[in-house]
Amino acid sequence: MGDPAYKVVFRGEYSLDCDILDVKQKVAALLKLDEAKVEALFSGKTVTLKKGVNHDEAVRLKAFFDRTGGIAYVESLEDVAAPFMARPAPSPPAHPQPGTPVKPAVPDGTGTINCPKCGFGQAEAPSCTRCGVIFRKLTPTNAASSADEVVFRAASATPAHVMDESEERKWAMFCHLSALSGFLIPSANVIAPLLVWNYRKKASDFVDVHGKAAFNFQLTITLFLFFSLLISLLNDTVLMIFLPVIAFLAIYNMIIIVTSGKKANKGENIEIRMSLGFIK
């Protein structure tokens, strides 16, 4: 038997400390949707964002989506067969203060469970469907507590591989701006983004996307410039034609590097034209 399959769903909910227009804009950029489809996502109907993944992957995708300000949920595909009314009604989320004893994430005999981090009531599951915390990763901070009251460190609730949003944006920006080194060192515009991407790609999907985009574009434009220059050297007339083209591409490359870096720093996704997909 393989691991149980899970899905990530969205019900149109978003964090109350976020502006709804900003959330919609970020969701549209993340999922590459037009305005009409984004409005449909926020209609209150349950929409499946991803299904058929293992539990850890589902939690990772939820954490990535939640950075938009929207709130995704992780559900087991096995729950689909159960009648909706048979599922326990969720209790209002609680917010325990640090150091306050809370009940551990164990079944209470009724098939329901309360998340020790946010207090959300739900059916028994490996993680909280609301905040995404993985119960088995919570660490007790008070060994002297009773069996039904254990203190948990909130810091341990965040998966180790999820990068802080500001740091995530910084590294995504570096993927693009590192290509500026190519104006000083030949081929550095390709090698530098590749090194930055390889260093942080596993820590963040956002960095992974921007790193691939930066490397693919730099390799595309470098190959084009190389073959254009090679052809130009064969004939003086051809050289006079290609020199303005080569100069234009060099300026265009610098503009793309700077604008892409700014977008990455703002947390926006990008799509660079004239770029071949060497790395998918």
Where in the chain are the domains? 6-157, 165-265
- Span 214-224, average pLDDT: 93
- Span 129-158, average pLDDT: 45
pTM over 0.75: no
pLDDT for the residue numbered 52: 84
Phi/psi-derived region of residue 258, left when phi > 0, alpha when psi is between -120 and 50, beta in every other case: alpha
pLDDT for the residue numbered 274: 80
DSSP symbols for the chain: --PPPEEEEEEEEE-TTS-HHHHHHHHHHHHT--HHHHHHHTTS--EEEEEEE-HHHHHHHHHHHHTTTEEEEEEEGGGGGS-GGGSPPPPPP--PPTT--B--S---SSSEEE-TTT--EEES-SB-TTT--BGGG--BS-TTS-TT-B-B-GGGGS-TTPPPHHHHHHHHHHHHHGGGGGGTSTTHHHHHHHHHHHHHTTT-HHHHHHHHHHHHHHHHHHHHHHHHHHHHTT-HHHHHHHHHHHHHHHHHHHHHHHHHHHHHHTT-----SS---S--
- Span 73-95, average pLDDT: 53
Please report, rounded to a whole number, the percentage of residues in the chain having pLDDT higher than 70. Answer: 73
